[in-house]
Chain A
Amino acid sequence: MSAESYPEMSFEARMGTVDFRIHERPHITLDDRKCVDCSVRGCITACPANLFVPTADGGILFNYEQCFECGTCYMVCNEEGAITWTYPDGGHGVVFHRS
């Protein structure tokens, strides 16, 4: 199975298919000082929205806006206190239409 043989859409276009009603309060926050000691860094691979981006200095850049509110990141994270996770305020966040 090779991914190359299928013409894939860009990740931006993929996320562009999803309706997000963004609230100004970040419902997930990251203290990436904790990430320095993390060896697995599972969030980078597992977050289906690709919201955890490693930086050159060993940290992680996180943006809450295009989040599915799935819970994967806090479940796979192995550093206590790195991720603070809540649901967005009522009426905000992801809205599915064809799922």
Chain B
Amino acid sequence: MPDVDVIVVGAGPAGAAAALEAARAGRSVVLIERGPFPGSKNMYGGVVYGRILDDLVPQWWEQMPIQRWVTRRQTMILTDDQALTVDYRTENWGRPPYNGATTFRPDFDAWFAERAVDAGANLINSTTVTGLLRDGNRVVGVRTDRPDGDLTAHVVIACDGVNSFLAKEAGLYHHDGAENYTLGVKETIALPRDVIDERFNVRGDHGVDIEMLGASPDVPGGGFLYTNAESLAVGLVLSLPALAASGLRPEERIAQLKAHPAIAPLVEGGEVKEYSAHVIPEAGFDMMPELIADGLLVAGDAAAMCLAAGIWLEGVNFAIGSGAAAGRAAAVAVRHGDTSATGLEGYRARLESSFVLADHRKLRDAPHLVMSDLAQQRLPALACGVVEQLFTVGNPVPKPGLRRIVRGEMKRNGVKLRDAAAQGWRALRTFG
């Protein structure tokens, strides 16, 4: 008999959800985390979309540790010295059941892992899993860096994040080239609460989420700025190969962003309290590994389930959705006494019938579209150029027609009508 029914590796959102669901189904569960506490190794931009917790933690919004509820969301298009912003605010996102909240991962992940512990999972911190134990092709447990650290189980659920050495060791990855990954870097910048309220035009525990296009002109990616209670999170997401070849380091790029005329007044006078970095699986559906093997399931970033599609950067909710599905599928398989790949097939069915694979399948072209040179450089310049001309009063010259402005800006930015139309059509098919 194995030591436990289910071993979950990694106490991020995917692992905590998997452990919670397997434990709730009555299985014995060990949740292993290499950091001294869950969340200690994890950084992200800043917003958790909590509705995925409805089924897992009743009234979650009354207990989840948050910084601010996001009631204002902006998409900003930047060139060197221009900014075009779409700004949306709604009070609906500031009352139950809410929409998104800024929260620190060391707080959120620790809180969520505790919910798994409440359900009966055994959380073991400060323990690194160094490999899989196998019997032939079948995964039967894990090796850890503790003395006598081998642990066996009916099912291992790999929720070990973006580098997933477990999924790689099991041979499940086929598209893990650097071009499918981005580096996220960020600064947490302290500012007094009332300064943040004033600069961002919010009150109480309401806050702002700003996503930026054109924030790192020569390297595909994006920028972000989020408000916490008494700090801002400012950072960039950068395509790995382009960054590596660019000669300009990540922190220099953050400095540039902070000096942008549209951003500088927002961050001015703030003190950097923490600098952080983490890699993101960027390519979505097309890079996903095989998800199921004999005795093994893969969930969350370990399975490249982060949705990184320009205006969306959602990984925590996808991690929780996939982790919960893995935990439930593992529990059923253990109960039925078949934890082979066939016995674990229920995992795929659960993912297919939920937002996790539905959104990823629908948006599979989005990462390529968003990271294209057209979307990253030429469209931002074009959009800013058009708006600038539209609102520049050039008396005594009469106002130019919109069509002429657009044509002129397309030409200046090397955007061909045919390319724009083709890209627009692809975008409509993807996002529409």
* A positions within 8 Å CB-CB of B: 1-3, 5-6, 8-9, 11, 14-15, 17-18, 21, 40, 42-43, 45-46, 48-50, 68-72, 75-76, 86-91, 93-99
Contacts of B186 in A (CB 8 A): 99
Say whether, besides A45-B246, A90-B128, A76 and B259 are in contact (CB < 8 Å).
no
CA distance A48 to B185 in the complex (A): 7
Give the residue name and chain of the B residue nearest to A14 (CB).
Answer: B275
Contacts of B34 in A (CB 8 A): 87-88, 90-91
Interface residue B422 (Cβ < 8 Å from any Cβ of A):
no
Given A75-B181, A88-B34, A98-B188, 12 other A-B contacts at CB below 8 A?
A: A21-B36, A75-B240, A87-B34, A87-B165, A90-B127, A91-B125, A94-B41, A96-B274, A98-B104, A98-B106, A99-B186, A99-B188
Interface residue B256 (Cβ < 8 Å from any Cβ of A):
yes
Contact partner of B256 (CB less than 8 A), chosen from A3, A14, A71, is A3
Interface segment among B85-93, B247-255, B355-363, B383-391: the answer is B247-255
Interface segment among B150-158, B276-284, B304-312: the answer is B276-284
| B250:A97 contact, CB within 8 angstroms | no
Nearest chain A CB to B224 CB, angstrom units: 13
| A6:B255 contact, CB within 8 angstroms | yes
Say whether, besides A72-B279, A96-B276, A97-B104, A45 and B231 are in contact (CB < 8 Å).
no
Contacts of A2 in B (CB 8 A): 256, 259
Contacts of A94 in B (CB 8 A): 40-41
Nearest chain B CB to A18 CB, angstrom units: 6
CA distance A8 to B254 in the complex (A): 10
List which B213-266 residues lie within 8 A (CB) of chain A.
Answer: 228, 231, 233, 240-241, 243-252, 255-260, 264
| B256:A1 contact, CB within 8 angstroms | yes
27 A-B pairs whose Cβ atoms sit less than 8 Å apart in the complex: A1-B259, A2-B256, A2-B259, A3-B252, A14-B272, A21-B36, A42-B245, A45-B244, A46-B183, A46-B243, A46-B244, A46-B250, A50-B249, A70-B279, A72-B240, A72-B279, A75-B181, A86-B130, A89-B145, A90-B146, A93-B35, A96-B41, A96-B43, A97-B104, A98-B188, A99-B42, A99-B188
Nearest chain A CB to B417 CB, angstrom units: 30
Say whether, besides A40-B244, A96-B42, A90 and B145 are in contact (CB < 8 Å).
yes
Give the residue name and chain of the B residue nearest to A2 (CB).
Answer: B259
Contacts of B44 in A (CB 8 A): 99
| A6:B145 contact, CB within 8 angstroms | no
Say whether, besides A3-B252, A18-B274, A18-B276, A96 and B244 are in contact (CB < 8 Å).
no
Give the residue name and chain of the B residue nearest to A11 (CB).
Answer: B251
Say whether, besides A46-B183, A87-B128, A95-B36, A1 and B272 are in contact (CB < 8 Å).
no
Contact partner of B104 (CB less than 8 A), chosen from A1, A6, A93, A99, is A99
